[in-house]
Chain A
Amino acid sequence: MIRAYLASEIKRSVRNYRNLIFVLLIPVFMLLIFSSSTKGSRTGLLSTTTYVMISMATFAAMNGALSAGGRIAVERQTGWSRQLRLTPLSGKAYVSSKLMNGYCIALPAMAIVFLVGKLALSVALPSATWLKMALFIGVAMTPISLLGLFIGYTARPDNLQAISAGVNVTLSALGGLWFPAQFFPLWLKDLAKATPTYWIAESGRSAAEGQWIGATGTVVLVIWTLTLGAASMFAYEKANQRNYAT
Chain B
Amino acid sequence: MKKRKGHVLQNLALVSYIGISMMVPILAGVVAGRWLDQRFGTNPIFLFILIISGVLIGGRNAYYLAMKDVDPTTKRERK
Decide whether A and B are members of one complex: no
